[in-house]
Amino acid sequence: MVCVTSPRARFCWPAARALALLLALAVAGCTTTPTLEPALPAVEPEPLEASPVPTAPVTAPVPVFEPEGPPLVIVLNDRSHAQLEMLRVFSARLGRPYQILNIAHRGVDGVRATLEELAPIETVALGPAAYAVVATIPGLDVFYAGVLNPGRTTQGVDALPPVALQLDYWQSLSPDLERIGVIGGPGMAGRMAALTIGCTARGLSVDQRQVSSDKETLLAFRAMVPHIDGFVFLPDETVLSPRVILEVMNHGKQNGVEILVYSPVMYNLGGSIFLQPDPIAVAESLIDILDDPKLRPQVHSMRTRTRLTKRQTDKVAMNTVERTPAGY
């Protein structure tokens, strides 16, 4: 290695060579020519197969329910939708087309005109007002519910619970019950006779009186009150009036007589026991009769409310009696 020494500078030769190389690179712009590798041939992608379009699984067609039989018309007179439970049963169980005509909405003339236009083969009348309309149209096969005196036809469900069901329930509430009174017009003779038979079978005595006017009803009730501890208040409009109903209720309560009624209005006026057929049971029985008119009407249960004046209670209860075949 050769070193040069002078008064101003002192350096070694290898260092001088390195410095010169750096200056040359700076002048050249520090550029270098990269070595290019040979290009590889382009690879074309393989074509993709189209995915199959998903299809819904093949299943058997769902059978569509189509009611069979001629159309049925249900006539009622309901302003407060009290018969809604019955209509729900019809909707769920009645396997045929039907139409509802409400006298409260269409009026008597409107319902009659619609019936004549529809010309149905079979008609269901719910209540006495509906029955009075359909009974005047010839050619109709009428089924009924809630009608006290339907005439000769037996294609329906009785308006009152079975006698046996009534008496058994009453005795369960009042074991000391011994003497029962009942009053009615000529149209109630059959019901009073059935009540007498039921009472005799249960060891109860009956004071039965047939009358022909509301005045006779009041006189007969006042005469029997000292000899009875229970009274069956039959809803006989032919021998009752609003005044007589109130007087019978008041006189019975004053003398401690338990009064069995079949109307919520009568119960609110002071009745002791309120009985009515269960609407669901009535609708089911009516459907059975529509399917086979030869079937005997069956009311399987009843709804009750009690207010026993003898026991000085004011307890109101809702009860459902076990399913029991109907009897007249």
pLDDT at 297: 73
Asked if residue 152 belongs to a domain, the reply is: no
Q: Is 21 exposed, middle or buried (0-12, 13-18, 19+ CB in 10 A)?
A: exposed
Domain membership of residue 306 as a residue range: 163-278+299-320
Identify the CATH number of the domain in which residue 94 sits: 3.40.50
Q: Is 65 a residue whose pLDDT tops 90?
A: no
| Structural domain count, the chain | 2
**Residues forming a β-bridge with 85:** none
- For 37-92, strand residue ranges (E) read 72-76
Side-chain half-sphere CA neighbours of 311 within 13 A: 13
Tokens of 32: 């270098």
Evaluate the CA torsion angle 197, 274, 181, 203 in order and state its sign: positive
Asked if residue 23 belongs to a domain, the reply is: no
78-130 per-position pLDDT tens digit:
877 778 889 999 999 988 889 999 999 999 999 999 998 888 889 999 999 99
Q: Is 8 a residue whose pLDDT tops 70?
A: no
For the ranges 55-69, 131-145, 151-165, 307-321, the maximum mean pLDDT occurs at 131-145
Domain boundary among 122, 147, 172: 147
Domain boundary among 82, 117, 147: 147
- Report pTM: 0.70
194-246 per-position pLDDT tens digit:
999 999 999 999 999 999 999 999 999 999 999 999 999 999 999 999 999 99
Cα dist. 317→258, 260, 266, 275 in Å?
16, 15, 16, 12
Q: Which of 124, 128, 130, 112 is nearest to 71 (CA)?
A: 124
